[in-house]
Amino acid sequence: MDKTSRPLVIDGTDHIAGRLSSNVAKLLLQGNRVTVVNSEKIMISGRKKSIVGEYKQFLKISSILHPKHGPFHPRKPDTIISRMIRGMLPRDKPSGKAALSRLRVYIGVPKDVKPLGKIQLEKTKIRKSSALYTSVGELGRYVGWH
């Protein structure tokens, strides 16, 4: 059973994507329910040109026989982040599957989550000017999210 009936609500604004994902994965494996809001404001460190270029190369990977057979690449910020977190979980084991089922990621803040207290993880916040980072929402817009 879950540790708490109320989920931990993490505001993703100005958090580094990789650090946030690893911390959320650890919380999920400990048995917590985690909700990440404002996923479009999570930052990826590095130059925008190289981040977008690498992601566009990643989008070219498809089935040899027919592209409809996958793999399917996320373009929405919430699915990009949930896939990052999924990659840090042992999803072939029952503990990883259960942990992934306790995760919710949203663009913006939904009405049912607004009254809950939001937390920010200080060790995952950006330390430099936000101009040196690319947001996941910006990346999504470059690769086809509207």
Can you give the pLDDT at residue 12? 96
pLDDT in tens, 64-101: 899 888 899 999 999 999 999 999 999 899 999 999 99
Backbone Cα Rg of the chain: 16
Query: How do residues 10-34 score in pLDDT, each as one tens digit?
Result: 999 999 999 999 999 999 999 999 9
User: Residue 127 corresponds to which amino acid?
Assistant: R
Question: How would CATH label the architecture of 8-142?
Answer: Alpha-Beta Complex (3.90)
Does the pLDDT value for residue 43 go beyond 90? yes
